[in-house]
Chain A
Amino acid sequence: MINIENLTKIFDTKQGVVTAADHITMQVPEGEICVLLGPSGCGKTTTLKMVNRIVTPTSGRVLINGEDTTQQDTVTLRRNIGYVIQQIGLFPNMTIAENISIVPKLIGWNKKRYTKRASELLEMVGMDPGTFLKRYPNELSGGQQQRIGVIRALAADPPVMLMDEPFGAIDPINREVIQDEFLKLQRLLKKTIMFVSHDIDEAVKMASRIAIFREGKLVQYDTPDDLLSHPKNDFVKGFVGSDRALKRLQLVTVEEVLETETAVVKMNDSLSQALVKMDDAGYERAIILVDDARRPVGYISRSVAQANQGDCSKHYANLRSVVRLEDNLRTVASKMFTHDATWLPCVNSEGILEGCVTQRGITRHLGATYKAVQ
């Protein structure tokens, strides 16, 4: 847990004094990602660097797991905090193996242990140790370098990580990939992370909490959902964007809005049975057809059931799309628009039907949190 209390930094410059951070007070609970977000020059980096004392605070203090950082030797403090700088900062004179092993070496691990650790970390980010250990940073792509920057910070398994726009230098597509990778890692590692970003979408995706900065002041510190649904003032509103309702979609998974009591028909049910079931369940247009293992096969539309006779197995239409439990609602909404659907069946990892997501369900879920406070 990181405890920041009244942290202030005043720079004395030739043009006068600059208050880069102004009485910042915030807490980052154990195992959470806190994203510092705000326009350029608002003090995000300065605040971050005061945590590992690269920048010395003018006043205020930082406690890590209850311990005042001023009481610790700065070198020891920094070796216990993973640090990813914005410029990546891989040492060009060292191989990838040497870059990754640097902190373990400094703290006295033996060769066998840090060599093994380097391979293990490379594998964790999907890079082949055989290929990459011996290379030099200038032989890697930007995205690969950024991955190495992140795993170098993870090498000695520090409980706390500071990351300054760690994925800033990558194109949008690769950025998404590396963000997903990192989130997957974080679910295992549960580090306490402070993460600087200027990208609201990245913040919403990565953060457990978002801290919005403006001119050195902390304006709002909330969970992404609270921030998007209840921006504190016009500045925050402007910063999160007018599409904030849509942004919230990616915070919710299918599982949370799933309607599990879904009526279905089987292959050898007749079309008239299908009609009855649709009426019972109140479905206006169609009903899902499943096989014996309850895997969705297709759907029977009301018009087809009314116009024909016989078994469902002869008259079904193919499903246009299915979603999975762990998909977020942004993906779902996108599929709904693509296929002009008002509902989509949802399957689990075995492909078995778990229920349906409906447009009405999504709207209701998003609306509920808006109303809760109003």
Chain B
Amino acid sequence: MEIITYVMSNLSLLAQLTLEHIALVVVAVGLACLMGVPIGIAITQNERIARVVLYTASIIITIPSIALFGIMIPVLSVIGHGIGYVPAVIAVLLYSQLPIIRNTYTAINNVSPGLREAARGIGMTSMQRLRLVEIPLSVPIIMAGVRTAVVMNIGVMAIAAYIGAGGLGVLISRGISQSDPRQLIVGAIAVSLLAIVADTLLLALQKRLTPKGLQS
């Protein structure tokens, strides 16, 4: 009951924090796609490099986010962004690499050898093969990776409130420091709801982007 009253009286704050949260995740995962998809495609050319890249990305993802923020503070202070928006985005960008790179790599590698040979035999250049065959066929799996990244990083972004990046984590951190269970609970529920909604919307988008001939 108390919680509902809290929500009703703080609607605009809640909306503002949610938007901040979404903006952070969208920008960071967006950048992560621009980086991870090309890397995932590039490493299909060389198995050894692929192993090194995927291994590195898995190590990054095991670093606890609090520790990662801590490491970045002195490094980014050099350019005057030790805390706030920049380290938050960078952290999410790094955490997103594993699901995005791995899914892109697996998807491209899984295009059947027959199709690849048909594309070569028909006289497509390697860029045409990527654009016309390999990427369209990989879209569903790449999108699944993006979904994983988004859902995971909505959680990570909640912690970024501690370094002043804003977002719904602000409610959680305030709830803890002020011993105010209302803010803590509202913040936690909002983060979970956001993750569920994002996952549902992205699943719908994934279906839209899947080539019609692959839907059954």
Interface of B is mostly: helix
Assess whether B213 is in contact with A137, with CB atoms less than 8 Å apart: yes
Q: List A contacts of B114 (CB < 8 A).
A: 85-89
Q: List B contacts of A91 (CB < 8 A).
A: 115, 118-119, 132-133, 213
A110 within 8 A of B: no
Assess whether A93 is in contact with B123, with CB atoms less than 8 Å apart: no
Closest to B116 in A: A89
Assess whether A106 is in contact with B214, with CB atoms less than 8 Å apart: no
B120 in complex: contacting residue of A78, A88, A138, CB < 8 Å: A78
B121 within 8 A of A: yes
Residue from B119, B124, B137 whose CB has the most chain A CB atoms within 10 Å: B124
Q: List B contacts of A102 (CB < 8 A).
A: 122, 132
**How many residues does chain B have at the interface if contact means C-beta atoms less than 8 Å apart?**
22
Assess whether B213 is in contact with A138, with CB atoms less than 8 Å apart: yes
Residue from B123, B137, B211, B216 whose CB has the most chain A CB atoms within 10 Å: B123
Assess whether B121 is in contact with A83, with CB atoms less than 8 Å apart: yes
A189 within 8 A of B: no
From known contacts A106-B123, A106-B128, infer whether A93 and B211 are also in contact, taking CB-CB under 8 Å: yes
A132 within 8 A of B: no
**Those of B20-76 within 8 Å (CB) of chain A:** none
B117 within 8 A of A: yes
From known contacts A85-B114, A87-B112, A87-B114, infer whether A92 and B137 are also in contact, taking CB-CB under 8 Å: yes
Q: List B contacts of A90 (CB < 8 A).
A: 118
Query: What separation, in Å, do the CA atoms of A212 and B213 have in the docked complex?
Result: 40
**Those of A134-160 within 8 Å (CB) of chain B:** 136-138, 152
Assess whether A89 is in contact with B115, with CB atoms less than 8 Å apart: yes
Assess whether A78 is in contact with B122, with CB atoms less than 8 Å apart: yes
A333 nearest CB across to chain B (Å): 40
A196 nearest CB across to chain B (Å): 13
**Those of A98-144 within 8 Å (CB) of chain B:** 102-103, 106, 136-138
Closest to A92 in B: B213
A92 nearest CB across to chain B (Å): 5
Assess whether A78 is in contact with B216, with CB atoms less than 8 Å apart: no
Extra pairs beyond A83-B121, A85-B121 (10, CB < 8 Å): A77-B123, A79-B122, A83-B118, A89-B121, A91-B132, A93-B213, A95-B213, A106-B124, A136-B212, A152-B122
20 contacts between A and B (CB under 8 A): A77-B123, A78-B123, A85-B118, A87-B114, A87-B117, A87-B118, A88-B118, A89-B115, A90-B118, A91-B132, A91-B133, A92-B115, A92-B214, A93-B133, A93-B137, A94-B132, A94-B211, A136-B212, A136-B213, A162-B121
Closest 4 CB pairs of A and B: A89-B118, A136-B213, A87-B114, A79-B123
